Amino acid sequence: MIRELKENDISGLNRLTPASWKYDYETFLRDFIQEDFFYAFVLIQDNQIVGTGNVLVKGKIGWLANIIVNSTYRGKGLGLHMTRFLVAFSKEKKCETHLLIATALGEAIYRKIGFRKMTEYVCFDSQVAISYSRPMAVRALNLSDLESIYALDREANGEDRSHLIDKYYTNGLGYFNDEGELLGCYLPLFGRGLVLSRDTTAGIELLKLKHSKKGARTLVPLENQESISVLESNGLKKGDTSARMVLGIETKWKPTYIYSYGSGYCG
């Protein structure tokens, strides 16, 4: 049985997430549960929660996320059941594009429904801090920068994510040229830390800023070879790949603008 997640369901759901994700699912749920674009569901078996799934809807685009099944209950088709439910739900919300980030374990499941792979992301972890000195071109973002951030994000991702940027821009940093034009931005609290840039120098500087702290994690699309080279040359630990997948209409986006995606609920 699948039902809507309730606030009192949240405590204890971190036990479902794989340790390799390094992800506080409960904090994520508490942060989003009141948002009108966010829908969360739980899968019930044997009178207990054995799985979850979320969908974030904006316009005609729906992002599926956190499709997780307790390891004891895997291999029974429950992940497939939840995914089909989320796709049907987002179609009811008039979505024409369904997106998700798939682990190696999940990719085969999503293909059964018709999802297609768009690209792969490579994971990098900072085991030590990268030495970094912030250039004058980098400054804190403010309210007057919002429209520029929206525009950059639309260029990079091919969708309207203003509802997410509004949540996380306030402690962000931007890279600006001499004319004051925003070339790139880093939003530390957007998932694992979103870095976008239409300019290579700006993107690399913001990526180095992100990894000037130990423990940062970046997932970057294979198309952005400049950032992959920088992360490799700075000795970051390379991890597993994950697939960006789509069902329905494929949106136009620019993966070379993505120096670090925010999170799997909005890759």
CATH of the domain at 79: 3.40.630.30
Same domain, yes or no, for 218 and 160? yes
41 is written with which tokens?
């569901």
Strands (E), the chain: 2-4, 38-45, 48-58, 61-69, 97-102, 116-125, 138-140, 173-176, 182-187, 194-197, 217-221, 237-248, 258-260
- On whether residue 255 sits in a domain, the answer given is yes
Same domain, yes or no, for 184 and 251? yes
Q: What is the CATH number of the domain that holds 195?
A: 3.40.630.90
- On whether residue 113 sits in a domain, the answer given is no
Residue 264's H or E segment, with its range, is: none
Same domain, yes or no, for 76 and 149? no
- On whether residue 194 sits in a domain, the answer given is yes
- On whether residue 103 sits in a domain, the answer given is no
Same domain, yes or no, for 148 and 67? no
Same domain, yes or no, for 179 and 230? yes
Report d(CA 191, CA 193) in Å as an integer: 5
Phi, psi (deg, nearest 5) at residue 240: -70, 160
- Please answer whether residues 48 and 37 qualify as being in contact, where contact means their C-beta atoms are separated by less than 8 angstroms: no
Which structural domain, as residue segments, surrounds residue 82?
2-95
Same domain, yes or no, for 59 and 151? no
- On whether residue 119 sits in a domain, the answer given is no
- On whether residue 107 sits in a domain, the answer given is no
- On whether residue 117 sits in a domain, the answer given is no
Residues of the chain with pLDDT under 70: none
Q: What is the pLDDT of residue 20?
A: 82
Q: What is the pLDDT of residue 135?
A: 94
Report d(CA 176, CA 35) in Å as an integer: 32
Q: What is the pLDDT of residue 216?
A: 93
Report d(CA 1, CA 5) in Å as an integer: 12
Phi, psi (deg, nearest 5) at residue 179: -90, 5
Using CA atoms, how far residue 57 sits from 30, 108, 250, in Å, is: 17, 24, 16
User: What is the maximum span of the chain, computed from C-alpha positions, in angstroms?
Assistant: 62
> How many structural domains are present in the chain?
2
